[in-house]
Amino acid sequence: MGVQRLSLSQIESAILEIMGYSSSANAPWGSSANLYLRVNEYGQRLPMHLNSLARQMNMPTPVRFDMWRNTVDSDTSGADVPLVSSGSQYVYLPVDYDQWVSFWDLTNSRPISVIENVDKWHSEILLLPEGPPQYIEIQGFVTDGSGNWRRRAKLYPATEAGTTPSFRMEYWKLPATMPGVSPTVEYPDIDPKYESIFIYGPICDLARNTGFEYDRYAALEKDLLIEMLSTARSL
């Protein structure tokens, strides 16, 4: 027997039914596209929301969830992979990157260690000759060559000319968005047990402006968030 899933279209219908609107066009948000934006924004905010609640409950933070853990190999194209290029020690991390877990050099079968503040604490690494990656430094957000806004990283030592770095990356990702192109077959990036959070959470956000039964749905949202925290890993 299959598992019941809530599509984006069904999430919209549930929000409309609960809040008493016949369509998104007749609701304060004005269109389905605007509602999808609010639903996706809530989903992207979930990891931060869960960490905030964990601190209120005196749980160790940050908390992470296996449903948002991903492993991917580097490639020379793509937004959902670590983007590498020949002879370059710079890497663009996946657009959904949240926090690293590990890096593994596929060519030389050895781990790549994450380091910080190379100039201050690891200056000897700067003197290493060009060669296979041994260390990686996670840097800030930049725009890659395709216009994607993503975190950049730097490999050490410098990459040899004509060589393309090849490594596997395990990381915690942000929940994926639902584009709204085919809302009947788009589903939240979450364990099916907790899909209702994509109904209750956006209703809470929308209720702040409308005054609609905020306390009731805030309680339902919190109950689901607490249940989610029971499955979290504290790192």
235 has pLDDT over 60: no
120-132: average pLDDT = 87
pLDDT of residue 210: 65
Domain range summary for the chain, segments of one domain joined by +: 8-64+176-234, 75-165
pLDDT confidence band for 44 (50 / 70 / 90):
very high
62 has pLDDT over 80: yes
pLDDT of residue 37: 97
Which stretches does DSSP call E strand in the chain? 63-64, 69-73, 90-92, 97-105, 110-111, 113-115, 135-143, 149-156, 167-173, 233-234
Q: Is 235 helix (H, G, I), strand (E, B) or coil?
A: coil
pLDDT confidence band for 209 (50 / 70 / 90):
low
- As a whole number of angstroms, the distance between CA 66 and CA 89 comes to 30
The tokens of 13 are what? 């219908």
3-state helix, strand, coil in the chain (%, to 5): 35, 20, 40
pLDDT confidence band for 121 (50 / 70 / 90):
confident
What whole-number percentage of the chain has pLDDT above 90? 84
- As a whole number of angstroms, the distance between CA 6 and CA 13 comes to 10
10-27: average pLDDT = 96
pLDDT of residue 215: 86
Share the mean pLDDT of the chain.
94
pLDDT confidence band for 98 (50 / 70 / 90):
very high
128-157 pLDDT, tens per residue? 899 999 999 999 999 998 999 999 999 999
- As a whole number of angstroms, the distance between CA 54 and CA 62 comes to 8
pLDDT of residue 1: 56
